[in-house]
Structure 1
C-alpha cells in the first residue's frame, strides 16, 4: 500500500451522507455532544499537524461558515494555546455562525485569539495553512469568493492541512468540483470518505490520517459501507505441496497479438507465468508465432488464422485471456466469438472490450478490465463522465456485463456481483505507460489458473500488479516499463 495511507486504516469506506448519519448516531444515540466531537476533531488534527511538522511555529486557518469551519477554529485555539503565532481568516462572517461552530469560534476568541477581517491574496506569513473552508456536503461547482480563496491556498508555498476533506473535492466521487485545495495532509473524521481514494482524490489529499474521534464501534456499524479498501500486499500465495506438478496450476491461453501488436500478447503471457500459472500458450498470427517466444521459450505459441485453428489450443486451456494486441479486424471478431462460445473463465481487456462495446453481452464467469476510455465505450458514455463518478461506473459495468468488473486508473476499482466496489490504493503514476494493462490481464488470468475464484483473482491481481509497480518504481517513476514488473511479480507472489 502506498506510504500516503496508514496500514491501520479501517477497510470500510462511506459516502458523505453515511458519515453524517454516523455523526448523528454518535450524538443522538451514543450521547456524545456535537461540540465534544468537534473539539475531538480539532484536537486530532492539531496532533497530526504537530507530528507531521513539529517545528512549525506559525499557522493560518481559513474558516468557513459550517462545522468544517468550526473544526478549524478548534485547531486555531489549540495552536494559540500552544504558543504558535495564529491568524484566522473567516470566509463567512462569524456573526452568521450557529450551533457547534459558533461555540468553537467563541472558545477561540475566549483564549485571546484574533480574527482578521479579510482574505489575503496569499498566506506567505505562515508555515502551515489549515483548510476549514468547505466540508463533505459540497455537491456543486465551486465559484465566486470560495473559488478565489482555494486558488490563493494553492498558491501558498508552505504546508497545507485539510480538515475532513480538501475543500472543493467531492467526498463521494473523488472529482474536483471546478477547483479544489491541494493538501499535504488530510485529517478525516468518523468514517473514511470513499472519494479520497480514487479518481482525482489522491492528487488532492496528500497523506491521509484517520481519526474516529473516540466513537465506539457501534457508530461505524450503524450504516453499511459503500465501498471497501483492498488490503496491502504483505504476503504471497500459499506454499505449494511438494508433490505438485504443472497440471495443478492451470493452463492460460492468451489470445491476441495481431500484426504489429505481438508484444501485448507476449507481456500478458509472461505475466501469467511469473505469478505461477503452470502452462502458458499464446494464440496469435502465424506471421510471428514462431518468433514470439525466442526470449521466453517457456511460452507455447500457436499460429491461428481461423476459428478452427483456435479450437485445439482452447481445448487444452483452463483460462483464456483475450484482448492484448487483438485489434478489431474480422480475425479479431471471429476469435472473440469463438472464445465466448466456451464455458472457460475469461479475462477480457483492450480490443476485446472495444469489440464487446459494439455487441454487448453478459457473462457470469469473466472479468473485464477497462480503463476509463474503454469503460466509456462499454457504457456509451464519455471518459470524463466515467472519471466524475468511478464508483457508479464500475457498478454499472458489472451490472451490464456480469462477472467481475475492474475499472483501472488511479484508485483502481474491483466490483463483483454484490455491487460493492473495492479500491486499490497502491500503484503510481509511472504505471501510466503502454503495456501495463496487458500485464494486469496476464496476472489475473494466472491467478485464475491457480484456482482462485473470479473475484479473488481480480482483487488480488489488481493489488499484486500495483504493488509490483510500486516496487519497480523505486528506481524512478519516469521511464517505468511494463516489463519492469516481471521480477517484482515473481518476488511478491513468493513472500
Structure 2
C-alpha cells in the first residue's frame, strides 16, 4: 500500500475539500477530473507495464468522467481501448460530458453494455465511485459480476464500485480490484470491514490539492503505525516491567487464560500471574513454569493478588457464572489499569460502567451486546460503533476484526496488519495478553492498545508468509511477537 498521508476522511469531507479547491483556489472541477484520470492511467502503467490493452466500464457520474479521461490517455499512448457504458451517453452531465467528447474526438468508441462484454487487457472500473449509499441496482450488479469473473487484472477508480466508501461494506455486489487509485485523500471505508476483499493495493493521488485544504478538515481517523519501544537499561530488573495478573479460565476453559498468560510473557512483562479455578492450577504452567498460577475460588482469594499486580487482564475463558461476576466486580473495584476481554465484556454489557483506566477489546458480537444493537449494526458503520463504545464506556476501545479500530477520547486509528489466518479461537486471548504486558511496561492505555493490535497482526502476517494462513494457531504468533517487539 502506498499513500501520501496516514489520515482518513469520510466522503463528505472529500467533497468539501473539492469544493474548497474549486471555489477558493481556482482549481476547476474539469481540471481535477483530468488529473484523476491521468493519475489512474499512470498507476495502471506502473502496475502492469507489460499491458497495452484496457477495457473500461463507465457509469453515469464523475467516476465515469475519470474513466473517459483514462481511456483517452490510453488511446493517446497507443493502447487498444474498449469502453462500455451502462447508461446512454446523452445522460452524462457536467464535466463528464466534456471528457467523453474529448475521448470521441480522439478516435475512441463507446459501446452499450448489454450484459456481456469482451474484456481484454486491464479492466478499469469507472462505474459508481464514492457516492453510492444504497444496494447496487441489477444492471450494475451484472456488470460487476462480469468484471469479477473475467479473470483479468482490475483497477478501480477512487473506490471499487459497490463498496461503501465510508463504512467498507459491500452494498450487495462490489468489484474485486487488484488496485484502487483514490483521490485527494484516503477514504475511511477502504481500510476496514469488507474492504480487504475488494480494494487490492491502494494508492492515493492528491490531484495537486494542497495539504492546506485538508488541514481545514479534521481527519476522521488515521492509519495505525508501529510505535518503537525504548531499549531496556542494562541495570533493568523484573520489577521495572510490571506484574500482569490475568483472571479467567473458568471450568473447561483453561486454554484461553494459558494463551493470554504466555502472550504476556512473550511480550516482555516482568512477572505474569494467573488467577483461575482450583482444578486448573496444576495444569496451567506445565511446560511453561514462568507462569505463576493461583487457585482463586472466592473474592477473598483474589484480593491479595490484585494488590500485588500493576495491570490486570480479565476475560479469557472467564465464562458468565457467579464466580465470573465476582471476579469482574472485584477487579473493577481495585481501580488498577486493566484489559477487559471476552466474557468480561459480556458481563459488562449486563451492567454497563465507565472507567477511564481500562482497555476494552470486543469483537463485533461483543460490541453489539455492549451497545444493545445487532452485529449488522456494528458492521454498517464500524467507525461510528467504536466511537460510541468509547463515549459510553470511556477509556480505550478496540473494535476487533478486519481493519481493527482503536478509539480514545482524542482520536481513532485503523490497523492495516493481519490476515484471515487469524479467524480462529484464541487469537483474541493472545491480543489481550500482549496488551496487558505492554501496559505493564509503562505504555499509556492508547499506545499499549495501538502497538498490541499492530504487532499482533504483523506477527500473523509473518507466520502466513512462511506457513500460509490456513491452520494458523494462536500460539504460532508468540515467537514472532517477541521478535517484532525487539
Bin of the TM-score, shorter chain as denominator length: over 0.9
Deviation of residue 35 (structure 1)?
1.2
**SS of 2:181's equivalent?**
strand
Work out the CA distance in 2 between the residues paired with 1:379 and 1:49.
43
Report if aligned partners of 2:115, 2:142 keep a CA contact under 8 Å in 1. no
Partner of 2:359: 367
Which residue, out of 182, 185, 190, partners 1:188? 182
Deviation of residue 157 (structure 1)?
1.3
Which residue, out of 28, 43, 47, partners 1:48? 43
Partner of 1:335: 327
Work out the CA distance in 1 between the residues paired with 2:115 and 2:85.
11
Counting matched residue pairs gives 485
**SS of 1:477's equivalent?**
coil
Partner of 1:264: 256
- Pairing 1:140–2:134 present: yes
Which residue, out of 117, 121, 124, partners 1:127? 121
Deviating beyond 2 angstroms after TM superposition, the runs of 4 or more aligned structure 1 residues are: 117-120
Partner of 1:455: 446
Work out the CA distance in 2 between the residues paired with 1:469 and 1:21.
38
Partner of 1:410: 402
Report if aligned partners of 1:123, 1:129 keep a CA contact under 8 Å in 2. no
Which residue, out of 94, 103, 108, partners 2:103? 108
Deviation of residue 236 (structure 1)?
4.2
Report if aligned partners of 1:122, 1:155 keep a CA contact under 8 Å in 2. no
Which residue, out of 333, 352, 356, partners 2:348? 356
Q: State the TM-score, normalized to the length of structure 1.
A: 0.96
Work out the CA distance in 2 between the residues paired with 1:10 and 1:295.
46
Work out the CA distance in 1 between the residues paired with 2:280 and 2:309.
21
Report if aligned partners of 1:122, 1:156 keep a CA contact under 8 Å in 2. no
Which residue, out of 434, 437, 444, partners 2:435? 444
Deviation of residue 290 (structure 1)?
2.1
- Pairing 1:57–2:87 present: no
Partner of 1:174: 168
Work out the CA distance in 2 between the residues paired with 1:360 and 1:291.
34
Partner of 2:458: 467
Work out the CA distance in 2 between the residues paired with 1:139 and 1:79.
31
> Where in structure 2 are the equivalents of 1:358-437 lying within 5 Å?
358-418=350-410, 420-437=411-428
Q: Deviations over 1:98-139 (max 9, x none)?
A: 221111111111111011133342444x12111111111111
Give the superposed CA RMSD: 1.2
Work out the CA distance in 2 between the residues paired with 1:30 and 1:329.
63
Deviation of residue 476 (structure 1)?
0.7
Which residue, out of 85, 91, 101, partners 2:86? 91
Deviation of residue 29 (structure 1)?
1.2
Partner of 1:76: 71
Report if aligned partners of 1:25, 1:222 keep a CA contact under 8 Å in 2. no
- Pairing 1:219–2:213 present: yes
Work out the CA distance in 2 between the residues paired with 1:121 and 1:385.
36
Partner of 1:321: 313
Deviation of residue 323 (structure 1)?
0.2
Partner of 2:236: 244
Report if aligned partners of 1:236, 1:492 keep a CA contact under 8 Å in 2. no
Q: Deviations over 1:71-124 (max 9, x none)?
A: 000110011111111111121222122221111111111111011133342444
Q: State the TM-score, normalized to the length of structure 2.
A: 0.98
**SS of 2:284's equivalent?**
coil
Work out the CA distance in 1 between the residues paired with 2:113 and 2:430.
54
Work out the CA distance in 2 between the residues paired with 1:304 and 1:193.
48
- Pairing 1:307–2:310 present: no
**SS of 1:290's equivalent?**
helix
> Which segments of 5 or more consecutive residues in structure 1 lack a partner in the other structure?
none
- Pairing 1:16–2:8 present: no
Deviation of residue 493 (structure 1)?
0.8
Which residue, out of 23, 30, 40, partners 1:28? 23
**SS of 1:254's equivalent?**
strand
**SS of 1:116's equivalent?**
strand
Work out the CA distance in 2 between the residues paired with 1:100 and 1:271.
56
Report if aligned partners of 2:87, 2:112 keep a CA contact under 8 Å in 1. no
Work out the CA distance in 2 between the residues paired with 1:313 and 1:10.
45
Moved more, 445-454 or 33-42: 33-42
Partner of 1:160: 154
